[in-house]
């Protein structure tokens, strides 16, 4: 099966109903995308499919064959740079396991809403669980990445 991952053409020999997350991690060795709950509850496996955040654990790989998949390894652009800078400056991660998913969602939000308010941030990020509960810093970092340090 032919895939486009982070702008690169990849070919994998897998069943169409293999979860995209398995293909990324086990077949392509791209382990930045994390396995959390496996049932679309925690958001740790978030990738972008044609720019839209998508839980890779419940995405059959056959459904993304003709589409652009972006993972944390290939996340680029002004929003991604701003988010990475803010995450570092504010020391967001603790254990770090959920953070790839958090960043994928945060960047997707900022691509659509340049200066999100608290409600917009909470609604966008509600699908990404953090057991270290870094939520307050995530919220602050998204504001910071948006150039709004209030």
CA dist., res. 44 & res. 97, Å (int): 7
- Which CA distances in Å does 144 have to 5, 34, 85, 108, 147? 29, 25, 9, 15, 5
Residues 94-123 as x/- pattern, contact with other proteins by CB under 8 A:
x----------xx-xx--xx--x-x-xxxx
Element (H, E) at 3: strand 2-5
Q: How far is CA 26 from the centre of its chain?
A: 18
CA dist., res. 49 & res. 10, Å (int): 15
DSSP assignment letter at 82: H
Identify the residue among 10, 27, 38, 73 touching other proteins (CB under 8 A): 38
Nearer to other proteins, 8 or 150 (CB): 150
Rule CB under 8 A: say whether 70 interacts with other proteins: no
Shortest spacing between CB 59 and other proteins, in angstroms: 6
Identify the residue among 33, 46, 71, 144 touching other proteins (CB under 8 A): 46
Shortest spacing between CB 110 and other proteins, in angstroms: 8
Binding site for other proteins (CB under 8 A): 15, 17-19, 22, 37-43, 46, 52-55, 58-60, 63, 91, 94, 105-106, 108-109, 112-113, 116, 118, 120-139
């Amino acid at each position: 099966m032919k895939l486009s991952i982070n702008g690169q053409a990849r070919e994998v020999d897998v069943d169409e109903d293999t979860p995209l997350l398995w293909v990324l991690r086990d077949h392509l060795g791209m382990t930045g995308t994390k396995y959390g709950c496996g049932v679309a509850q925690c958001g740790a496996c978030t990738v972008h499919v044609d720019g839209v955040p998508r839980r890779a654990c419940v995405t059959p790989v056959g459904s993304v064959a003709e589409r652009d998949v972006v993972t944390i390894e290939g996340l680029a652009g002004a929003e991604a740079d701003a988010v990475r800078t803010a995450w570092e400056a504010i020391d967001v991660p603790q254990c770090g396991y959920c953070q790839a998913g958090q960043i994928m969602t945060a960047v997707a939000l900022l691509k659509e809403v340049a200066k999100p308010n608290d409600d917009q941030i909470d609604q966008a990020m509600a699908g990404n669980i953090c057991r270290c509960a870094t939520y307050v810093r995530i919220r602050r970092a998204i504001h910071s990445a948006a150039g709004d340090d209030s």
